[in-house]
Amino acid sequence: MEQILALFAIFLAFAFSGKCSDVFSRSDYPEGFVFGAGTSAYQWEGAAAEDGRKPSLWDTLCHSRDQGNGDIACDGYHKYKDDVKLMVDTNLDAFRFSISWSRLIPNGRGPVNQKGLQFYKNLIQELVSHGIEPHVTLYHYDHPQSLEDEYGGWLNHRMIKDFTTYADVCFREFGNHVKLWTTINEANIFSIGGYNDGDTPPGRCSKPSKNCSSGNSSIEPYIVGHNLLLAHASVSRRYKQKYKDKQGGSIGFSLFILGLIPTTSSKDDATATQRAQDFYVGWFLRPLLFGDYPDTMKRTIGSRLPVFSEKESEQVKGSCDFVGVIHYHAASVTNIKSKPSLSGNPDFYSYMGVSFHYFGKSLDFQYANTPWAMEVVLEYIKQSYGNPPVYILESGTPMKQDSQLKQKDIPRVEYLHAYIGGVLKSIRNGSDTRGYFVWSFIDLYELLGGYEVGFGLYTVNFSDPHRKRSPKLSAYWYSDFLKGESAFLDSQGIKELQSKYSSSF
């Protein structure tokens, strides 16, 4: 409760002090702080049916719905060398990407696909030889469809063994060059989106308002979440037993985290905000850091929430070396008075018992520029979980595609400037944040927006068979910042940035 009020204070302090206008440069960040940008396999690689790759959950979902697909995407599979050149132009320290399990081990287990293996070796070699650190995510919504068909994927405990074997191949083959590994991309959104709402792979739910062919929104998200935690712990154990001494890397787990503040100063809204954090974040972070689910979840979900055995709890606790934060925007939280009936068919939101009011999304899909939310998130992790090391693995704003976007990219520049500044403030307040990755390096296939919206520093012409890339204003801004230029963005600064690069568009 006191902690929630302290987070509210960050919001108020920011609201009354105006925008983040401090002058800062990259030399203000601690030594070793990593600046990067990211993509994920299905959204970037394309070559979906090439060189032995087989379908994953994403291929299946996208092909069953009318929302575009990643068959070709940015064609990163063929154009990775061009992209590494752009990363060099952007002065990135690191590139975050994911490995496609169904490209590396097309049937989920069994033989390794040599061409898939070679692709990732080539990509990593290209990065390393250009001085760019690879940061690898092992799982970004995309296990091989065959495992879903055979035994139900993450609903089945068998995934833990198969995921560990797949991860072992990655550590063995790529671990000499990869020092930062994330096991699961935003486990909370994967469980909620895929098994409560049915909007993301594998598209399961039992909500009457959705068109899912199967699923159970009251139970499945928690079974999946439990298996993800056990799989992460198993992979982390494997790394420590077999690879850590030789390779010296770290293993993290990532979560989508909203900047949440209570809607009013009432006790009910403060408690509701704490409950929302417990459901969204504590669901995974409490087991990872303290060995068990939050009491609020245990009380509300009752026997539908799986239970850790003593041994499992010991294995999960302490199994992550860092917390990967995926943070985009903010909401205020209002308590909902009615209690969910456990005998009915409650879903994640009715268990949680709050309503969210998102801070304005504009018509062009952009997220509101609320950098205090970044500070709220980092302060919450610091205070509630004992200040673990954090990497911001995704942060950025979408904008509707438009042929003029390259030069009209000012909102993205403002957003990145403000959020990167917010991270610096949090570090100065004691947060152990060690890196920041812009989402995304280039425009990608977006699951919920197809090719209509782009988060990229670079545009991609998706109608061009060569998928030509071009820098947006934000790519120039980020590159200048990473070169050491001061990041001060008043209206004069924006004008100077535009005129400096006007001849490039």
Residues serving a catalytic function are: 186, 394
Nearest distance from residue 166's CB to ligand BGC, in Å? 19
- Contact indicator for 378, 329 with CB cutoff of 8 Å: no
- Phi-psi domain of 394 (left: phi exceeds 0; alpha: psi -120 through 50; beta: other): beta
| By CB under 6 A, residue 480 contacts ligand BGC | no
Tell me which of 256, 348, 349, 391 binds ligand BGC, using CB under 6 A.
256
CB closer to ligand BGC, 142 vs 312: 142
Percent helix, percent strand, percent coil in the chain, to nearest 5: 45, 15, 40
CB closer to ligand BGC, 8 vs 439: 439
CB closer to ligand BGC, 26 vs 467: 467
- Contact indicator for 322, 368 with CB cutoff of 8 Å: no
Tell me which of 59, 133, 142, 186 binds ligand BGC, using CB under 6 A.
186
Nearest distance from residue 52's CB to ligand BGC, in Å? 24
Q: Which of the residues 210 through 249 are near ligand BGC (CB under 6 A)?
A: none
DSSP 487: B
Q: Which stretch binds ligand BGC (CB under 6 A): 79-87, 184-192, 196-204, 465-473?
A: 184-192
Beta strands in 91-204 (DSSP E): 94-98, 133-139, 180-184
What the block records as the tokens of 197 is 């709402």
Q: Which stretch binds ligand BGC (CB under 6 A): 71-79, 182-190, 272-280, 283-291?
A: 182-190
Nearest distance from residue 415's CB to ligand BGC, in Å? 13
φ, ψ of residue 310 to 5 degrees: the values are: -60, -40
Query: Among 414, 196, 204, 386, which Cα is nearest to 291's?
Result: 386
CB closer to ligand BGC, 415 vs 501: 415
Contacts of 172 (CB under 8 A, 6+ apart): 243
Apex 347 CA angle, 342 and 352, nearest 5: 85
Tell me which of 185, 216, 296, 384 binds ligand BGC, using CB under 6 A.
185
Strand pairing of 399-400 and 354-358? unpaired
CB closer to ligand BGC, 199 vs 312: 199
Q: Give the count of residues interacting with ligand BGC (CB under 6 A).
A: 11
Identify the residue whose tokens are 């993205």: 412
Tell me which of 93, 133, 220, 394 binds ligand BGC, using CB under 6 A.
394
Q: Which of the residues 297 through 356 are near ligand BGC (CB under 6 A)?
A: 326
| By CB under 6 A, residue 40 contacts ligand BGC | yes
- Contact indicator for 456, 442 with CB cutoff of 8 Å: yes
What the block records as the tokens of 231 is 């799989």
Nearest distance from residue 19's CB to ligand BGC, in Å? 24
φ, ψ of residue 98 to 5 degrees: the values are: -115, 160
Nearest distance from residue 103's CB to ligand BGC, in Å? 17
Half-sphere exposure at residue 47, Cβ-oriented, CA atoms within 13 angstroms: 19
CB closer to ligand BGC, 205 vs 447: 447
Query: What's the start-to-end Cα distance of the chain, in Å?
Result: 51
Query: Burial of 294 by CB count in 10 Å (0-12 exposed, 13-18 middle, 19+ buried)?
Result: buried
Rounded to whole angstroms, the Cα distance separating 477 from 271 reads 40
Q: What one-letter code names the amino acid at 80?
A: Y
CB closer to ligand BGC, 159 vs 189: 189
| By CB under 6 A, residue 73 contacts ligand BGC | no
List the alpha helices (DSSP H) in 130-210: 145-151, 158-174, 187-192
Contacts of 166 (CB under 8 A, 6+ apart): 101, 104, 105, 108, 109, 138
Output b/e per residue, 278-289; b: 16+ Cβ within 10 A: bbbbbbbbbbbb
Half-sphere exposure at residue 305, Cβ-oriented, CA atoms within 13 angstroms: 20
DSSP 240: I
| By CB under 6 A, residue 446 contacts ligand BGC | yes
Contacts of 275 (CB under 8 A, 6+ apart): 296, 352, 353, 354
CA-based R_g, the chain, Å: 22
CB closer to ligand BGC, 239 vs 256: 256
CB closer to ligand BGC, 133 vs 186: 186
CB closer to ligand BGC, 40 vs 296: 40
What the block records as the tokens of 104 is 């590396």
Q: Which stretch binds ligand BGC (CB under 6 A): 62-70, 146-154, 181-189, 195-203?
A: 181-189
Q: Which stretch binds ligand BGC (CB under 6 A): 185-193, 224-232, 278-286, 422-430?
A: 185-193
Nearest distance from residue 446's CB to ligand BGC, in Å? 5
Q: Which of the residues 188 through 207 are near ligand BGC (CB under 6 A)?
A: 189
| By CB under 6 A, residue 183 contacts ligand BGC | no
Binding site for ligand BGC (CB under 6 A): 40, 43, 185-186, 189, 256, 326, 394, 439, 446, 455
